[in-house]
Structure 1
Amino acid sequence: MAKFLAAVDVGTGSARAGIFDSSGRMLARAERPITLRMARADHAEQDSADIWRACGGATRAALEASGVAPGDVAGISFDATCSIVVRDASGAPVGVSLDGPERWDTIVWLDHRAQAEAAECTASGHRVIDYVGGVMSPEMAIPKLMWLKRRLPAAWSRAGMIFDLTDFLTWKATGSFERSQCTLTSKWTYLAHEPVGWRHDFLAAMGLDDLMARAALPEVARPIGDDLGPLTVEAAAELGLTTATRVASGLIDAHAGALGVLGHLAGGGPEVERHMALIAGTSSCVMAFSHAPRMTSSTWGPYLGVALPDLWMNEGGQSVSGALLDHICKIWGGGADPTPALHGRVCARIAELRESEGRDLAGRLHVVPDFHGNRSPLADPSALGVISGLSMDASFDGLCRLYWRTSVAVALGLRHILERMNESGYVIDTLNIAGGHTRNPVLMELYADVTGCRVMVPSAPDAVLLGTAMAAAVGAGVHPDLVAAGRAMHQGGALRSPNPDAAARFERDWRVFRAMHRHRAEIDAILAER
């Protein structure tokens, strides 16, 4: 019996594919770029056909590099950003842009065009809002769909199927209209813990009484790893596989990372409530798990079964983290391309500067990192970033100093979320990190020292792909369920403890960080005066 697995991870800028064996070892990995269109402020769009082509190219390349025969791949699954894809009843793209061609049929997760609609959802006071932390985010599906129906009624009238991006990919792979419990519960206000998951009264109150038909939504979501059927002939050709490969219900990219780093704790005892998954790349998602629901204000959830089976999850996050460091490089360097090489140079120079200045490097420079709003714990998409303490220094060392202090601010923002979650009953003392930040030595040091938590860095070279491979293993019958897959495919990791000598410096930074939040609120209040 074939025992190999394919996993496809669609991020903001690229599609990545990995080939795994049944023990969770990744044999090969490949990546293909995806185009992002940002024609105006707060609008971000993609072309779903471009995304699917990237998935095919990455999968074929990974398969070739692995040396595995196509017929030996038993299962495949997909994870993706929580973007929204709109197609008509025949499957043709329906444009979501105010001024672009039809091929831009995908509203990207980071798009904030629907802030007014999100506020309207919050103001409804409907009990579904209790399961998104009390405040609806414009990054979720319902406000974006409200915007689409109101602002582009012709597009809405043509819609015959609307997908979260993960579910679009499983549809392309199988032709199945089934949707993942992960996507619908986390982003579409589906209540997986209730006998009837959809709250049709809420949809009607938001003007989406026709959503079920327009989106071709099923009444019941499918758990992660459920077998959705074999690859179609067309999909098998695109992906370089065969129609013998089974397709498993997928999950959101960050949730796949949580499964990849914490899957071995699924089905276990209270220890899981001491661990948090931090999936950190362009943005950062933090996920905490519990055996009973924990209502936590301004963090998403509690959601049931959206990453680890039969466990509740609360999700917080930073809308920009890695993207903020990219932005700092761009604005300081006059539009310099924030390549991995540039980040590496900056991190190396920071290490040199700290040899003489220590943790007090640029000690009067302070940053509030909310350049794209505050997802949590403030749940304020209109929040703005703040930089205090700039001088006339425009040198490369000046960039390095600001980069260091912005990294401190990102870690302080994580501490802010952690404190809110622990106030609700969690006892988190260990961060399990996956994503691009594991390759940034500055951030990895700060995550431990600023939060005071132990940091577990997974041995798996790509924990997000690993989590998706776990889902594929269940769909293909390689492992009987996600609990078994999580334990059998776990790759371990290295533990990093916080440096106690750093505590005093970062405690002072924490006090400044909170003061800057208060001062920002005071300024906003003055500006709001009539």
Structure 2
Amino acid sequence: MRDHVIGVDIGTTGTKAGIYDSEGRLKGEAFEESRLIYPGPGLVEQDPEDIFSSVVNTVRSAMQASGLAPDRIAAIALDGQMAGLMAVDADWNPVTHYDSWLDTRCAPWLDELRPHEDEIIRTCGMALAFNHAPKLLYWRDQPETWARIAAFLQPAAFVAGRLAGLAGADAFMDRTYVVFSGFASGETFTWNEPLLARFGLTTEKLPRICEPWEIVGHLRPDWAARTGLPEGLPIAAGCGDQSANVLGGGLVDPGVVFDTSGTASVFATVIDSFGTDTTYRCLMTCPHVIPGLWFPMAYVAGGGLNLRWFRDTLSPMEKAQWEQAGRNPYDALAEAAGGVPPGAERLLFLPHLSGRNTPNDPDMRGAFLGLTWRHEKPHMVRAIMESIAYEYALYLRAVREIAPGYDPRFAVNIGGGAKSQVLRQIKADALGLDYRCMDREEFGTLGAAIVAGHAVGLFLDLAATARRFAGDTRPAAEARPDLTRAYAPYVDAYIDALQSLSPLFNRISRSLSSAA
């Protein structure tokens, strides 16, 4: 009886495989860390062969951990990194490395795209960044490599295609990735051929756009033997990793906010119409796996990383003392910050220590604004925490502009930062949104597994299945209207600071570059 499905998540830090039964219960999982390659400054890539091996290894290990016979598995789907790009030849052999979303070698080609940015935002759904469009132009201008390329795709599609024995002409990209393409419509999921033509491009080397649950092939015998899966297993197209997280988290109803508090702080919400952020240029309007839904998303690259920086760089002695006493340094920092009044006594922090990502502003830097002799370390920690809330408040304003009548219901918080009651309460108060938490911690592989089950008829209703598997949320922090009103001028001041200081940081960067 084939009543289990496999979801594989190909992330930046590693690959994870999860096996789920028909009730969404995890029966076996495995993880393998990624190997990132840094050939030079600003260059970050991965070997496609490493990516493929990691999937084979984790699926085999998950199968062994589950104790299931191969004939219990009904289907497999993969999700993966969304903004990067790689290419294959006519026989599905890699022609390029995986050009990671962290790689900035395509930066000069952003200038070629810049005059068309308004159209790209309006049609595709996000502002320019280090994603598919500039990466395509980079490879366009490498003629020897370009001539060998049959199709561009993402890591999850590459792995699925090799498992199924596809050829370059079979290349596919499911529609959840199109927001990162720059050259496709985020509403109709078709290639923007007139825009492509302006850059000397056609759809010849681009993958066809398909639905996440389309069965793109079946498992070859040699890979069945290597993974412990049944020969001929249906392979679904899958989806992007963030799309899998949103589906696996049960976020299938308009108005729910999804806050991932990790190394990066990721804000997403669900809307039922396509709209694009031409005002703030911070949102990516990502297609949801569920037809007719989208999830605008934006993020601060150094959300949790900023607290780690403060802990390690500005509080190393306290960190050592806390650890010696058996106390979590993050808990100690949060407790101290909790004793500081909202607004940190008029202290603002800009959290973009490595540049701003949404929108793309690589010269932006971090800053404490308004420091006085009254301010101590707890004030600084609270200001760091509040900066994430202010950034999220900006994202909420943008969502309200692109989705008239948008009514946020509550925020679901996951990730390491979700354990901090102080941080949750700050965000709840600044946003005017109640915060809720979930008992489940893994969402990516579950989302991919739901797609796999839908592809073979195991899960007929995607939305109902996602709600049921995600389970109930529980209250974590209740918004206090008086503090929401008190935070409003701080949000305005924060947005003003971003707009005022961006040109300054750009001038500093240009001055230093010319001096070098």
- One fold, TM greater than 0.5? yes
Q: Residue type of the partner of 1:201? A: P
One of 141, 145, 159 as aligned partner of 2:136: 145
Aligned 8 A contact 2:238 2:451 in 1: yes
Deviation at 1:78, TM superposition (A): 1.0
Q: For residues 260 and 28 of structure 2, what CA distance do their matches in structure 1 show?
A: 21
Residue of 483, 488, 494 corresponding to 2:463 = 483
**Correspondence for 2:497 among 512, 516, 525:** 516
Query: Residue 423 of structure 1: SS of its match in structure 2?
Result: helix
- Compare 246-255 and 162-171 and name the one that shifted more: 162-171
Structure 2 residue 285 is the aligned partner of structure 1 residue 292: no
Report the counterpart of residue 383 of structure 1 in structure 2.
Answer: 364
SS in 2 for 1:496: strand
Aligned-partner Cα distance in 1 for 2:144–2:312: 38
Q: Tell whether 2:336 aligns with 1:353.
A: yes
Relative distance call for 1:412 and 1:185 in structure 2 (3 A) is closer
Instruction: Indicate whether 1:124 and 2:116 are aligned.
Output: yes
Is 1:182 aligned with 2:183?
Answer: no
Partner of 1:101: none
1:7-406 equivalence runs, <5 A: 7-82=7-82, 83-95=84-96, 105-124=97-116, 127-133=119-125, 135-138=127-130, 140-150=131-141, 152-176=142-166, 177-187=171-181, 189-191=183-185, 193-194=187-188, 197-209=190-202, 212-215=203-206, 217-218=207-208, 221-265=209-253, 272=254, 274-297=255-278, 298-300=281-283, 302=285, 305-328=287-310, 331-332=313-314, 345-354=328-337, 357-359=339-341, 363=345, 366-376=348-358, 378-388=359-369, 402=380, 404-406=382-384
Judged with a 3 Å threshold, the aligned counterparts in structure 2 of structure 1 residues 293 and 364 are, in CA distance, closer, same or farther, namely: closer
CA contact 1:254–1:285 (8 Å) conserved in 2: no
- Alignment-mate amino acid for residue 461 of structure 1: E
Q: Confirm whether residue 411 of structure 1 aligns to residue 389 of structure 2.
A: yes
User: What is the alpha-carbon distance in structure 2 between the residues aligned to residue 80 and residue 72 of structure 1?
Assistant: 25
How big is the shift at 1:435? 4.3
Contact 1:258 1:278 in 2 (8 A): no
Q: Could you say if the C-alpha distance between residues 385 and 12 of structure 1 is closer, same or farther in structure 2, counting changes exceeding 3 Å? A: same
Give the distance between the partners of 2:418 and 2:63, measured in 1 at CA.
25
- Determine the structure 2 residue equivalent to 1:100: none
Q: Deviations over 1:218-250 (max 9, x none)?
A: 3xx221222223222233334332224321121
C-alpha distance 403-181 of structure 1, shift in aligned 2 (>3 A):
same
The corresponding residue for 1:6 is 6
**Residues 490, 419 of structure 1: CA spacing in aligned structure 2 closer, same or farther, 3 A cutoff?**
same
Return the alpha-carbon distance in structure 2 between the equivalents of residues 118 and 153 of structure 1. 19
Kindly provide the CA deviation profile for residues 444-495 of structure 1, in whole angstroms up to 9, marking residues without a partner as x.
Answer: 3433233221223233221222211211111232112423433443322223
Residues 359 and 505 in structure 1, CA contact (< 8 A), matched pair in contact too:
no
Question: Cα 1:350–1:330, aligned 2, differ >3 Å: closer, same or farther?
Answer: closer
In structure 1, the residue matched to 2:472 is 492
Give, as a single letter, the amino acid of the residue that structure 1 aligns with 2:331: A
2:446 maps to a residue whose letter is L
Unaligned runs of 5+ in 1: 96-104, 266-271
Amino acid at match of 2:478: P
Secondary structure at 1:242 match in 2: coil
**Separation (CA, whole Å) in 2 of partners of 1:284 and 1:316:** 9
For the structure 1 residues 366 and 493, does the alpha-carbon distance in structure 2 shift closer, same or farther, using more than 3 Å as the test?
same
SS of the equivalent of 2:478 reads: coil
Contact 1:87 / 1:160 at 8 angstroms: preserved in 2? yes
Q: Is the 8 A contact 2:248 2:443 kept in 1?
A: yes
Determine the C-alpha separation between the residues in 1 that align with 2:437 and 2:310.
26
**8 Å contact kept, 2:219–2:231:** yes
Asked if structure 2 preserves the Cα contact closer than 8 Å seen for 1:84 and 1:163, the reply is yes
Quick one: percent identity of the two aligned structures? 22
Which amino acid letter does the alignment assign opposite residue 523 of structure 1?
L
Deviations 1:11-65 (A, max 9, x none): 2111112111112222333211001223444332112222222222222233322
TM-score by length of 1: 0.81
Rate the CA distance shift 1:413–1:168 in 2: closer, same or farther, 3 A: same
Aligned pairs, number: 495
Asked if the contact 2:268–2:296 (Cα under 8 Å) also holds between the matched residues in 1, the reply is yes
CA contact (8 A) 2:410 2:436 kept: yes
Q: Which amino acid aligns with 1:412?
A: Y
Q: Per-residue deviation at 1:110?
A: 2.7
User: Secondary structure in 1 aligned to 2:35?
Assistant: coil
Report deviation, 1:258.
Answer: 1.2
Q: Say if 1:146 and 1:207, in contact at 8 Å, map to a contact too.
A: no
SS of corresponding position for 2:150: strand
CA distance in 2, matches of 1:308, 1:437: 28
User: 1:106: Cα distance to partner?
Assistant: 0.9
Structure 2-normalised TM-score?
0.83
Distance in 1 separating the partners of 2:197 and 2:389: 40
Aligned-pair CA distance for 1:253: 0.9
Instruction: Go from structure 1 to structure 2 and tell me whether the alpha carbon gap of 1:477 and 1:525 turns closer, same or farther (over 3 Å shift).
Output: closer
For residues 345 and 228 of structure 2, the distance between their equivalents in structure 1, rounded to whole angstroms, comes to 53
Contact 2:267 2:298 in 1 (8 A): yes
Letter in 1 for 2:242: A
**Aligned counterparts of 1:429 and 1:191: Cα–Cα separation in 2:** 28
The match for 1:451 is 431
The letter of the residue matching 1:247 is I
1:161 counterpart letter in structure 2 = A
- TM-superposed CA distance for 1:330, in Å, is 5.8
Give me the whole-angstrom Cα distance separating, in 2, the residues matched to 1:327 and 1:160: 44
